[in-house]
Structure 1
Amino acid sequence: MTFDPASLTFDAAGLIPAVAQDATSGEVLMVAWMNADAVRQTLETGRVTYWSRSRQAFWIKGETSGHVQELVDFRVDCDRDCLLVLVHQTGPACHTNRRTCFYTAVRDGAEVELMAPDKGA
């Protein structure tokens, strides 16, 4: 069966959430948005491409920072309304220069930062 991005369930803005996960460790790195063209570009190039809601433009992860996400596997959830992209991540995934965007935990009612920014990034 050939995959057609039109088979996905996009929201009213034409977007679908995409969870980026490290293909080796299983660590969840970030969540971003894709439109149908970003899905196509990701699958065609192997470079994960998102849609920036703030800039209203394509965002190829790592294009300016060098923190590239190389696509390893592309998965669609059972409802076809969320994507999982398994990636090889070069450098930090988060714009704060942390490995993951999920660096803040809530423990006993308080926020706890689990990691500091990568100084070398």
Structure 2
Amino acid sequence: MTQVTTLWRPVGPEELKLIEVAEMEAFPPRLPEQPIFYPVTTESYAVKIARDWNVPASGSGYVTEFEVDTTFLSRYDIQEAGGREHLEYWIPAEDLDDFNRNIVGKIRIVRTFPE
């Protein structure tokens, strides 16, 4: 039985459309100016980003939740991004296809802003 780790990813409407095109099974490739894909370790941190960054930038924000194979994820260290409660994985853009293949189940939308 595969052990999984639950992660969250705040996204804006454009990224959400691309996730939906992938049938909620994969995150889209990074843009050239986005060398890192950063899923976060808590829903509360994802909510903060979606609400405080995505909404002002694009009018709406979403929190996605998903599981990743824990063995695969162990290749990467958790990074602190500005505070102990701001923990995230930094997945190099070139590893995103492997990351997507190690998502277990579907990506789910668990919060929408504005509500």
* Larger RCO, structures 1/2 (Cα 8 Å, 6+ apart): 2
What TM-score do the two structures reach when normalised by structure 1?
0.28
More helix as a share of residues? 2
Q: Whose Rg is larger? A: 1
